[in-house]
Amino acid sequence: MERYVDVAPGVRLWAEDIAPHADATEDRTASAEPLLLVMGANASGVAWPDPLIARLAERHRVIRYDHRDTGRSTWAFDEHPYAISDLGGDAIAVLDAFGVERAHVVGMSMGGVLVQLLLLDHPDRLLSATVLCTTALGSGLAAGDPADAAPVLPDPDPALLALWQEMDRPRDRDAEIAWRVEHWRLLNGSGTPFDAEEFRALEERVVAHAGRHDNPAAHARAARTGLDRGAELAEVEVPTLVIEAPEDPINPPPHSGHLSRAIGGGRLVRVPGMGHALNSTVIEPVAAAILTQTAAAGTAAAPS
């Protein structure tokens, strides 16, 4: 079921509620716990691969949505500017719109940063959290002031930094998709095979969903205020899994290790060879890690 969610004056988000897999039993469908997917910067909800969603929907009611300035959500950063931290509140608004009191939440990249904000500000709304390809609040790209980041962790690959300088340049549709495929090639890294056609098909779907191919890079321009909260992570009690991608060119090790240690009760799982991309070779281990996490959290929360 698709719907639009108003999150601020003049700003609405596209969201989709995906019922549990058709093969699930009636009892499992009725009791399926919600799982919210929070995507990374400048990426819409349909960037989550369909095979991953299908695996998660074997046990969960899956909810995904388009951030502001992506997909079918409002594109109006210049008229309605915001900080990255504001996007955390958008996730809660999506849960409210679908009548979800508590959910498992999965965040990738910037989405993982937003999930950390949810852990701090809305722990009562989370059954569990899983973050991947991300960094801790107050560090790396999640530092409000990069000069104050602590500890000092590796920067993104210089080749990526150079490509990001071209992110918002005007291109026709074919050139834009070609640029995005090259972006995915760098994000994927060399630890697993890169299939250009797989990511071309993904971006064709993303563009068709949005109805436009331009990229205003709004999240790269959004303020980073409110992110220097890494010290608060030690108080987190919600079961939290950190998935480490050892070949991640944006947040390489030891970013994930630092985050898992910073979070109270955090747990670390490594997916060998994974970069900053959900290609077909890593979907199964990522799905298995998420489902193990949600099952354990559900068991822990169940009355004895």
Query: What mean pLDDT is predicted for residues 156-167?
Result: 97
Give yes or no: 148 in active site.
no
104/115 Cα distance (integer angstroms) = 10
109 is a catalytic site residue = yes
Nearest to residue 130, comparing CAs of 296, 303, 302, 299?
296
Alpha carbons 82 and 78: distance in angstroms, whole number: 9
Q: Please count the structural domains in the chain.
A: 1
Question: Is residue 136 scored above 70 in pLDDT?
Answer: yes
SS3 string, 75-96, reads CCCCCCCCECCHHHHHHHHHHH
Selected catalytic residue, list 248, 256, 258, 260: 248
CATH number of the structural domain spanning residue 111 = 3.40.50.1820
**pLDDT, mean of residues 172-199:** 98
- Determine which of 20-24, 83-87, 268-272 has the lowest per-residue pLDDT on average: 20-24
How do 266-270 and 60-65 pair as beta strands? unpaired
Give the pLDDT of residue 146.
63
Domain that holds residue 123: 2-301
Please tell me the pTM assigned to this model: 0.95
- The pLDDT value given to residue 10: 94
Band the pLDDT of 13: cuts 50, 70, 90: very high
The pLDDT confidence band at residue 222, using thresholds 50, 70 and 90, is very high
How confident is the model over 282-288, as a mean pLDDT?
A: 98
Tell me whether residue 304 is one of the annotated catalytic residues: no
Active site residue: 44, 73, 85, 109, which one? 109
Mean of pLDDT over the chain: 94
Confidence of residue 152 (pLDDT cuts 50, 70, 90): confident
Could you tell me where the DSSP H helices lie in 137-228? 158-164, 173-188, 196-210, 218-221
Q: Check 67, 183, 255, 276 and give the catalytic one.
A: 276
* Whether the predicted pLDDT of 303 surpasses 50: no
Gap between the Cα atoms of 98 and 255, Å rounded:
33
Tokens 């949600």 found at: 294
